[in-house]
Structure 1
């Protein structure tokens, strides 16, 4: 389908830096010249507005309930991209209803022609609403940290996406790494476990696409406490440099995939 490349950014476990990555990756991609929209699809526990220090007058809740048109919910964010923010604590969005299903699909169909890339910042875990949001994306990026609980949850998420959605290729970013090569080591371990324990019906295997790692960096916590993007507050930090490299690899992967689709058979 023409229009924006849609990437869902998700995680098996909360607190691994998924929303931080979504916001800063959007800024890094915008710096590369892409027109980017970030949609906060964590509809019950939204916090992208906190990370960006934005106070939206119109949220996705208003759009979904017909109180405001979609265009009024799109706002400019620091970093040169746009966002659609969700209200927090809305119990009606904690489960996947037919209305939420229809509204999310319509939303993406509407915005896709307007952007180069749309990032969907999902909730954590494998609830119906998270899985449905991911199903609307062209590709999925799973965020994990090196700790065993986060890796176990990342494994479970990737397995469910493969079994339910047929996703045999999943991008991976390892956050909060402390040693050189730790991100690559984690990706190799996770790939080995998937190959050993996940058997798909058609004999296909799951391939991880490691996009890189983000160094454990005090600048990340400081930027979050300031409610500023890391890419703007501490652009020279190790973590900011890691995110720029992830953006480069993501852009290259997208270009390669697009070239493959356009080449004659």
Structure 2
């Protein structure tokens, strides 16, 4: 990839909760995959969604934006020699840190247990912007696998994305935290639309019903700058499926381990919906 990477100077970042930032010189569709709480399968969704989008012919990068508590490498059974930490500290170049994952997409992995990335500093902001500005032009889709919750680091990572995909489960604690995250993103980042996928759905139609319930609460309690209701878009359900746990325990992509299972088919449908959102390719 070294022939297509060109260094860019870091630019000043916006405030952590500020409006989404437009990445320059890029047609890549940047999507933040985030959640209100941990343990809902966010990284599982990011990795398998990337594989499904790659199967649809798209160039995909997954950036592990869960700085300090990264586990994308575990899900993908990768043992990186170079991580974002090495790039940030100048020990390695970006092209050395980008590796090909099972499934054919590219990943940029973060280091785990890095206390210095638990809070947002100007250096971290500028480094993240620099990384995305440099890499995004090489891809059709960039997935930011963020941390969970509403910390400054998570909010800033989400602010770099054009679209937000919230991952939640039907559990009440997950939905309560998802609502809190949506509310913060709608008010602080002035987002008019966000997308929701329900993981570990028990019954068909659960996700659509949950989305409708959350939308009603948002209509009552969340005001956007435009005065219009914040729109929550249901992107699909991933059913509870034993094959998911088996794949995670084996550190395999579900789409490779059990491509015909119900959860794999649901991820493939999610990828098709996301591809339909993308602008038509521009002629050379």
User: Does the alignment reach a TM-score above 0.5?
Assistant: yes
Per-residue CA deviation, residues 127-154 of structure 1 (Å, 9 max, x unaligned), is 0000000000111100000111100111
- Which runs of structure 1 show a deviation greater than 2 angstroms over 4 or more consecutive aligned residues? none
Matches within 5 A, 1:61-210: 61-210=85-234
Displacement of 1:112: 1.1
- Aligned to 1:92, what secondary structure does the other structure show? helix
Q: What corresponds to 2:83 in structure 1?
A: 59
Q: What corresponds to 2:48 in structure 1?
A: 24
Q: What corresponds to 1:227 in structure 2?
A: 251
Q: What corresponds to 1:10 in structure 2?
A: 34
Q: Does 1:214 align with 2:238?
A: yes
Q: What corresponds to 1:41 in structure 2?
A: 65
How far apart, CA to CA, are the structure 2 residues paired with 1:152 and 1:164?
18
- Aligned to 1:152, what secondary structure does the other structure show? helix
Displacement of 1:202: 3.6
Q: Which has the higher helix share?
A: 1
How much is the aligned-residue C-alpha RMSD, in angstroms?
Answer: 1.2
Q: What corresponds to 1:251 in structure 2?
A: 275
How far apart, CA to CA, are the structure 2 residues paired with 1:77 and 1:14?
23
Query: What residue ranges of structure 1 are gaps of 5+ in the alignment?
Result: none
Q: What corresponds to 1:241 in structure 2?
A: 265
Normalising by the residue count of structure 2, what TM-score does the alignment of the two structures yield? 0.89
- Aligned to 2:260, what secondary structure does the other structure show? coil
Q: Greater shift after overlay, 186-195 or 197-206?
A: 197-206
How far apart, CA to CA, are the structure 1 residues paired with 2:244 and 2:202?
14
Query: What residue ranges of structure 2 are gaps of 5+ in the alignment?
Result: 1-23
Q: What corresponds to 2:8 in structure 1?
A: none
